[in-house]
Structure 1
Amino acid sequence: MDHFNSTQLSTNQSDFSSFFTKNILPPLYFMICVVGMCLNSVAAWIFFRVPSDSGLVVYLKNMVVADLLMLATFPFRVVAQLGLGSWHLDVVICRYTAVLFYSSMYVGILFMGLISLERYVKIVRHTSPSSSSSCRSRWGGTSLLHLLQSVGFARVLALLTWSLLLLCVLPNVLLTSRPAHEVNSRHCMQLKTTLGVQWHRVSTLFSVGLFWVTLMVLAFCYASIACRVYQSYRRVQRNNSDIRRKSNRSIFSILVVFFVCFVPYHICRVPYTLSQMPTSDFSQETRFLLFQLKEGTLFLSALNVCLDPIIYFLMCRIFRESLLRKLSGRVGRRSLTTAQSLSNI
């Protein structure tokens, strides 16, 4: 995984830090850390008080966990980039928090893909209860479509997702084991063993591959959903623009967040990774520019911890109703307390 600072392959590669990476990004990360922690703490408080009665709720709960894990890495980044920590902090970032950041990001990306599949099955391939008997195989088992919507199957997929990413990233921790000192502490590749460098490249390609596959899944699912929604409106001849607007807002919120947060970084990551190779013929100016672009687009990826709660509110009715009920109850109690205080004057 790319290091939060300047991941370098050789000691003679320049430090590409700039005013942007040292003075602008740290305050921005601090802001999204505070805002994201508040929003995701509320989301976790709501979600883990409601039952997992659908696959969508299962996936969204796992997204909350992934976002909280990602948020836990932000303070390390901010402190390191502000130069407030010793070189030992850079070693901790290389070995642990950078790995946790990227693994949490790709777990979130995979759950977005699973959510899009769940929405596709529910909206496009949905079968009504009256026809459920025709969806059973001659062996008596439920259909694949019904299986994809079941809570148990969603939990299995969630467990497989976490296990897959754990198996992929754990060697990045174990193989970043070469002796560290003040000179090489900021160069993550120099802390990796020979096998660790190879594993880093393989896991990077694998993670990027997962992203592009997920992107294609999202594009297919939401293109199909858009066609089905349009056909539905034409068939029933609904002209209620408010209903249509709410439907589009809830269905495509995850697509907007995905494209804003993750697509720019993965477009930039291809040339940036090539510039890191020892045999690359990129100039120092080009490498510097690519590093700045990578850091800027990586910030957009981190911004998803603040945007994901919007997805929860728009897509999940039980989350939205629980949150509004909690807020209305708190406002009602506060109004009652104020009225009682005024009556005692």
Structure 2
Amino acid sequence: MINSSGNYCIYSKVLTKQALPLAYGLIFIGGILLNGVAAWVFLHIPSKTSFIVYLKNIVVADLIMSLTFPFKIFADSEIGPWQLNTVVCRFSAVIFYLNMYMSITLFGLIGFDRCYKVVKPQFLTSAHTVRCSRIVCVAMWALHMLISLPNSILTNKTPTKDNSKCVDLKSTLGVQWHQASNYTCLAIFWIVFLLLIFFYSSIARKIYFSHRKFKKNSKLSRKKTNRNICTIMLVFIICFVPYHIGRIPYTLSQASSQNRCEEQKVLFYIKELTLLLSAANVCLDPIIYVFLCQPFKQRLYQKLHLKMRTSEELENSRSRKSNAICETVVIS
């Protein structure tokens, strides 16, 4: 691959053409199976709360995101024709990022929804109705399409077999929009991430003081709440933080006219490996649903003809009876 200064950079074929496509293949299989099951379960759960509406939209985003993986797999492994790389640059990569950031935004909305209902339940308004949450979701989808889709439209140069980099297929305006959308998406992630820390810290603090006041079953309920909060934050930290740290220097390197080959290779490897972690999020989200959404867990067990353990049923019953705040966080 030729860098911007004209030097020929050779990337590891074992990594780019074998290891990464294999890893994406496994994630694709897991993502389709797990999110397929999640979609099947959510079809049998009525959208009675904004929380359920947001989770259903995450399932849709993860399913669409998973469907883009085969294009990357075949293009990177060079199994398909060279024109497949153009399809990835113009369409599947754009759809991948659109749905990834939509999923991130939805988790931010869930964090706000949970925090507001726990910390300020006396101020609940129509902002938390199902109808309003659906409008918010439509607005967020429209916003992310506005950010992402011009990258597809402005990738309009005539492709050749030697144009192996997506940036080579972009017009001058396309390169500028690509950079602008990258920085916008980076800002979206870090804002959502910091807000999630604030939201869930506020929830944990509210429940801690509530349990200190009422005492009853506090240890059990607090443990369940902390588990859910830690699960969400751990997934975000593992899947998204490394990529959004590595993406900054990689985006800057694409715009630079002076890139040493070794530096370019290191940044490329970091970007690809951390992007793999972000892609793996489609397999972890369905696991979050089990911890975060009690109706999902109950319906899943019912559809699979499994019986919940007595301890779990007792825990859920106690949680419902003893603490309405915990019920709001866990949706039990």
Q: How does 1:67-86 map to 2 (within 5 A)?
A: 67-86=62-81
How many percent of aligned residue pairs carry the same amino acid? 44
Q: TM-score scaled to structure 1, two decimals? A: 0.84
Shift of 1:22: 2.3
* Residue 207 to residue 148, structure 1, CA distance change in 2 (3 Å): same
Please name the residue that 2:273 is paired with: 296
Match of 1:287 in 2: 264
The aligned residue for residue 150 of structure 2 is 171
Query: Is contact 1:118–1:148 with CA below 8 Å preserved after alignment?
Result: no
Which of the numbers 59, 81, 88 marks the counterpart of 1:64?
A: 59
- Which residue of structure 2 lines up, in the alignment, with residue 335 of structure 1? none
Unaligned runs of 5+ in 2: 309-332
In the alignment of these two chains, the number of paired residues is 308
Aligned to 2:191: 213
1: CA distance between counterparts of 2:68 and 2:12? 20
Q: CA deviation at 1:104?
A: 0.7
CA distance, structure 2, for counterparts of residue 210 and residue 158 of structure 1 = 16
Partner of 2:249: 271
**Cα distance between partner residues in 2 of 1:118 and 1:178:** 44
Closer/same/farther in 2, CA of residues 274 and 16 from structure 1, 3 Å limit: farther
Q: Deviations over 1:44-102 (max 9, x none)?
A: 01112221100100000000010001100111111122220111100100100010111
CA distance in 1, matches of 2:29, 2:157: 34
Q: Which amino acid aligns with 1:67?
A: D
Taking a change above 3 Å as real, the CA distance of residues 66 and 279 of structure 1, as seen in their structure-2 partners, is same
2:29 is aligned to 34
8 A contact 1:8–1:187 mirrored in 2: no
The match for 2:140 among 149, 154, 161 is: 161
Cα distance in 2, alignment partners of residues 10 and 283 from structure 1: 8
CA–CA separation in structure 1 for the residues paired with 2:16 and 2:105:
28
Checking the alignment, whether the CA contact within 8 Å between 2:35 and 2:59 is kept in structure 1 is: yes
Cα distance change of structure 1 residues 103 and 288 upon mapping to structure 2, 3 Å threshold: same
Whichever of the two has the greater Rg, that structure is 1
Partner of 2:318: none
Q: Which residue is 1:126 aligned to?
A: 121
Distance change in 2, residues 1:301/1:75 (3 Å): same
Question: Could you say if the C-alpha distance between residues 325 and 211 of structure 1 is closer, same or farther in structure 2, counting changes exceeding 3 Å?
Answer: same
Q: Aligned with 1:328: secondary structure?
A: coil
Shift of 1:237: 2.2
The alpha-carbon distance between structure 1 residues 13 and 162, as it changes in their structure 2 partners (threshold 3 A), is: farther
**1:12-161 correspondence runs (5 A):** 12=7, 14-127=9-122, 145-161=124-140
1:103-156 residue CA offsets vs partner (Å, 9 max, x unmatched): 1100001001001001101111112xxxxxxx5xxxxxxxxx323321111101
Equivalences for residues 236-275 of structure 1 within 5 A:
236-238=214-216, 241-275=219-253
Cα RMSD, aligned residues only: 2.1
Tell me, yes or no, if the aligned pair for 1:37 and 1:71 is still in contact at 8 Å: yes
What TM-score, normalized to structure 2?
0.87
Distance 2:218 2:305 in 1: 28
SS of corresponding position for 1:259: helix
Measure how far apart 1:168 and its partner are: 1.1
Which letter maps to 2:28?
C
Q: Distance in 2 between matches of 1:10 and 1:114?
A: 43
